[in-house]
Chain A
Amino acid sequence: MAELMELNYTVSNEDFTRAGEASSDVKKKLKQLGVSPDAIRKVAIALYEGEINMIIHAYGGKIKVTISEDAITLILADKGPGIADIEKAMQAGYSTAPDKVRSLGFGAGMGLPNMKKNSDQMDIKTELGVGTTVTMVINI
């Protein structure tokens, strides 16, 4: 599985105005590479939700995107509070987002379910007080 490209982004803490920068940039690059619109949309949705989660629930973090011939791998790592109960967090509608975040249109508890739905593989490694790493693979 030859690696074609690796992209790295830093997501800053509490900066909603910049949310989506990584997803937009990845989307542009995938378009240039001629990846199918369907796969691009999946990557964009999964990555954007992940980006938003790092801003709302952690204190920002780092994103690594690896593009190979047959898959796109998204690794989102933060040093936030971690997730106490992953099973609960994965349920549609479950959210601990504060009202401030809700008033911006987020916090519907659809992020992790959206990420799962749009990726072919998803894995969450989390430790309370240490951080969370979400890895998603989208086949192309």
Chain B
Amino acid sequence: MKVSDLNKFDEFSLLSDDKDTEITGVFCCDLLSIAMGKAPSGSAWVTVMANVNTLAVASLTDVACIILAEGTTFDSTLIDKAKEEGIAVYKTDLPIFDAALLVKNSL
């Protein structure tokens, strides 16, 4: 499944720009140091941690996209920054596990 295929789900709404990168797995973690060390490149990273450092970690680990769960979101400054850096960001009201499962079951 490509990142842009997430657009088809009612559960996910796109905050920045999507892309055609293939999603190769799903990774869940809110501790940025752990995510930094472990998030596989190409994975969809599901987290409730929504701050500027989330973008830095996503960019440095080359994850396919960020999915902000539990209704967390980015403000407009962060959305602009995500667009600038070409990071696809989605948000969802689903809990982390359910969001991750939904993506995983669609891979």
Contacts and interface: CB of A to CB of B under 8 A. Distances in A.
A32 interface: no
Contact of B34 (A19, A37, A108): A108
A45 B36 contact: yes
Where chain A touches its partner, the secondary structure class is helix
Where chain B touches its partner, the secondary structure class is helix
A27 B56 CA distance: 12
Q: How large is the interface on B (under 10, 10 to 19, 20 to 34, 35 or more residues)?
A: 20 to 34
Interface in A74-133: 104-111, 114, 117-118
B60 A45 contact: yes
A14 B52 CA distance: 14
A27 B60 contact: yes
B51 interface: yes
Interface residues of A, number: 25
A40 to B, nearest CB: 9
Interface of B: 30-37, 41, 49, 51-54, 56-57, 59-62
